Amino acid sequence: MTTSGNYQKTDGNDHDKLHLSDDMSSTFAIVDICAGGDLLLHVEHYNNVQVYRVSMAVLRKASAYFDVLLDPNKFSEGAAVQKQLQELTRSHANVASVPTSDLPHVSISDCGQVPNAKISESAFKLFLNILHDSATSVCMPHTHSIAILALIADRFDATGPISLYVRNSGWKKKKARPEYNRNSDVHIELLRRQKLLIGLLLGFQDWVFQYSSELIYQGSEKWKSDLTDVEGEAPWWYLPNGVEGTYLKGLQAASKGQIDDFRGTISPS
């Protein structure tokens, strides 16, 4: 959904703020991803709402999802944004001089399979920062955070830039900090599954082979006890594209000494 004129700037110390003036009374801080950005991205995931100032050109180049959504010839969102920007260029010297409240905005209400309690402003902000600046520098995050980043990238069809960033950051070669300081079988498997999911989504074939083999050889607590309530059914407990079921077949293959042949059938999606 794209609308214009729904935001009104309000006073704020640390951030510009916007107020949805139609039928919503909440006030949201604007996160400046691109200071001269020409678009406001209103992201709502469950009850978590964030607003970002971004560059439409950058989003379209980095994300096939946004390229289609913001195409004025394909979706009403793109047509509405284009029309409003044309009007703004006639009344302002450049986009950077346009008041934030006058910028067009696009609303996103589905961030994909990111677990309810796990989506955070920092995860989506990092995603957008990477798209806008591949040299973005952050402290090495938890494996869990990279898994969330990969899920967001997959949702918006922007895995290429995120995969390249993770590779170039050297994160894969480092011993990433686990989110949990526990040594139980479930939490060891959690880290293994998160890395496998990252491998599947970001195209790290070496990780797909390594952690799929470990799951096959070590087994899964989920397969033993059907952990249906683990982490609100987070995607790493229900691996995509039928992979979870494939592993069960892999257990049979492994028991027959056919694991090398089986591993060759698994590749990143």
**pLDDT at 18 > cutoff 50:** no
Q: Which residue has the higher pLDDT, 23 or 177?
A: 177
Q: Express each pLDDT in 38-68 by its tens digit.
A: 999 988 877 778 899 999 999 999 999 999 9
Share of the chain above pLDDT 90, in %: 22
Quote the pLDDT of residue 56: 93
Q: Which of 2-11, 38-47, 104-113, 208-217 has the lowest mean pLDDT?
A: 2-11
In this predicted structure, what is the pLDDT of residue 14?
A: 41
The predicted pLDDT at position 184 comes to 63
What is residue 197's predicted lDDT score, i.e. its pLDDT? 94
Largest CA distance in the chain: 73
Mean pLDDT of all residues in 123-132: 91
> What is the reported pTM?
0.79
Q: What is the mean pLDDT of residues 226-254?
A: 68
Q: What average pLDDT score do residues 216-239 get? A: 69
Average pLDDT, the chain: 76
Q: State yes or no: pLDDT of 190 exceeds 70.
A: yes
16: pLDDT strictly greater than 50:
no
Residues 215, 188 contacting (CB under 8 angstroms): no
Pairwise CA distance, residues 26 & 108, whole Å: 17
Residue 222 has pLDDT above 80, yes or no: no
Structure confidence at residue 254 (pLDDT): 64
